[in-house]
Amino acid sequence: MEVDLFQQGVDLMLFGMGTVFAFLISLVGACYLMSRVITRFFPESVQAEVPVQMAPATTVEPHIQAVIQAAIDKHRSR
Protein backbone atom coordinates (compact mmCIF):
# COMPACT_ATOMS: atom_id res chain seq x y z
CA MET A 1 0.00 0.00 0.00
CA GLU A 2 2.71 2.45 1.02
CA VAL A 3 4.93 1.61 -1.96
CA ASP A 4 2.00 2.07 -4.33
CA LEU A 5 1.27 5.52 -2.83
CA PHE A 6 4.93 6.49 -3.13
CA GLN A 7 5.00 5.28 -6.74
CA GLN A 8 1.92 7.35 -7.55
CA GLY A 9 3.59 10.41 -6.01
CA VAL A 10 6.71 9.91 -8.09
CA ASP A 11 4.64 9.38 -11.23
CA LEU A 12 2.65 12.54 -10.55
CA MET A 13 5.86 14.50 -9.89
CA LEU A 14 7.48 13.30 -13.11
CA PHE A 15 4.34 13.99 -15.13
CA GLY A 16 4.08 17.52 -13.68
CA MET A 17 7.75 18.31 -14.20
CA GLY A 18 7.61 16.88 -17.73
CA THR A 19 4.59 19.03 -18.53
CA VAL A 20 6.32 22.17 -17.26
CA PHE A 21 9.52 21.30 -19.13
CA ALA A 22 7.61 20.71 -22.38
CA PHE A 23 5.74 24.00 -21.95
CA LEU A 24 8.97 25.94 -21.35
CA ILE A 25 10.66 24.34 -24.36
CA SER A 26 7.69 25.22 -26.56
CA LEU A 27 7.73 28.77 -25.16
CA VAL A 28 11.43 29.18 -26.03
CA GLY A 29 10.76 27.79 -29.50
CA ALA A 30 7.84 30.17 -30.06
CA CYS A 31 9.93 33.17 -28.93
CA TYR A 32 12.77 32.12 -31.24
CA LEU A 33 10.38 31.66 -34.15
CA MET A 34 8.71 35.04 -33.57
CA SER A 35 12.12 36.71 -33.36
CA ARG A 36 13.20 35.18 -36.67
CA VAL A 37 9.93 36.20 -38.38
CA ILE A 38 10.12 39.78 -37.09
CA THR A 39 13.76 40.26 -38.09
CA ARG A 40 13.15 38.76 -41.53
CA PHE A 41 10.02 40.68 -42.51
CA PHE A 42 10.58 43.89 -40.50
CA PRO A 43 14.31 44.65 -40.49
CA GLU A 44 15.55 47.63 -38.52
CA SER A 45 16.31 50.64 -40.65
CA VAL A 46 19.86 51.86 -40.18
CA GLN A 47 20.01 55.54 -39.37
CA ALA A 48 23.09 57.67 -39.03
CA GLU A 49 23.73 58.74 -35.48
CA VAL A 50 23.20 62.41 -34.90
CA PRO A 51 25.53 63.92 -32.31
CA VAL A 52 23.65 65.09 -29.27
CA GLN A 53 23.81 68.82 -28.69
CA MET A 54 24.42 69.55 -25.03
CA ALA A 55 22.74 72.58 -23.56
CA PRO A 56 25.20 75.23 -22.45
CA ALA A 57 25.98 75.14 -18.76
CA THR A 58 24.10 77.83 -16.91
CA THR A 59 25.89 79.85 -14.31
CA VAL A 60 24.61 79.97 -10.77
CA GLU A 61 24.09 83.34 -9.18
CA PRO A 62 26.67 84.09 -6.48
CA HIS A 63 24.17 84.40 -3.59
CA ILE A 64 22.54 81.07 -4.56
CA GLN A 65 25.97 79.45 -4.73
CA ALA A 66 26.77 80.82 -1.26
CA VAL A 67 23.53 79.36 0.15
CA ILE A 68 24.21 75.97 -1.42
CA GLN A 69 27.79 75.95 -0.13
CA ALA A 70 26.60 76.87 3.37
CA ALA A 71 24.08 74.01 3.32
CA ILE A 72 26.77 71.55 2.18
CA ASP A 73 29.17 72.76 4.88
CA LYS A 74 26.49 72.44 7.57
CA HIS A 75 25.60 68.94 6.41
CA ARG A 76 29.23 67.82 6.43
CA SER A 77 29.90 69.29 9.88
CA ARG A 78 27.38 66.96 11.56
pLDDT tens digit sequence for 63-77: 999 999 999 999 999
> Domain range for residue 13?
1-44
Whether the model pTM is above 0.85? no
* Cα 33 to Cα 20: distance, rounded to the nearest angstrom: 20
Whether 26 maps to a domain, the answer reads yes
Residue 78 in domain: no
pLDDT of 1 reads: 66
Answer whether residue 18 is part of any domain.
yes
For the chain, what is the domain count?
A: 1
* Residue 15 forms part of a structural domain: yes
